Structure 1
């Protein structure tokens, strides 16, 4: 009996690490980095390992940051790329199911009701 080859198996076999699923969000976060004033950014997508932040300023790469999302979820991470208008954040720890659901579900439930 032949086994099915999954796309993730091919990615690993080719030396690429498969990306975590991204979820579209419409939540706001307060962003803080050492030596900088805090700013507000929109979290436009999120995965278990990181998020895309939209803000008017380019954030400093390779510096730690804290995100306080919707005044309730506190996360830590590092900006891995940045340009004016958007920055990629990698979280220090993978998000668990409860936190990811808390951040994503309200957006998905609004989309379903449309």
Structure 2
């Protein structure tokens, strides 16, 4: 996972809690999971002097596909168990639709290849 604060890469970030000291004020935080070409999640985070500000990153549903499914979320509220369950159901729903369509498209391509 890669994290930047105000455009500067933050080294040593890992899954779980990571303490990153910053000066008070608003900071633009981006987080992305994966390699080049991935779309980072972005949030403007206000930091108050003498306080700890927690933000949470949730990985995207898919690594590739429609843009809204390939961006993680970044914000002040941790995902709930229900949020995670809803995402899993949505992922299964998409897979249950896309897998048969991929099979149909493959079979159609093979048919057209040999019968055209």
Same fold (TM over 0.5): no
Give TM-score scaled by structure 1 length: 0.32
Asked which structure has the greater RCO (Cα within 8 Å, sep 6+), the reply is: 1
More helix by proportion, 1 or 2? 2
More strand by proportion, 1 or 2? 1
Say which one has the larger Rg: 2
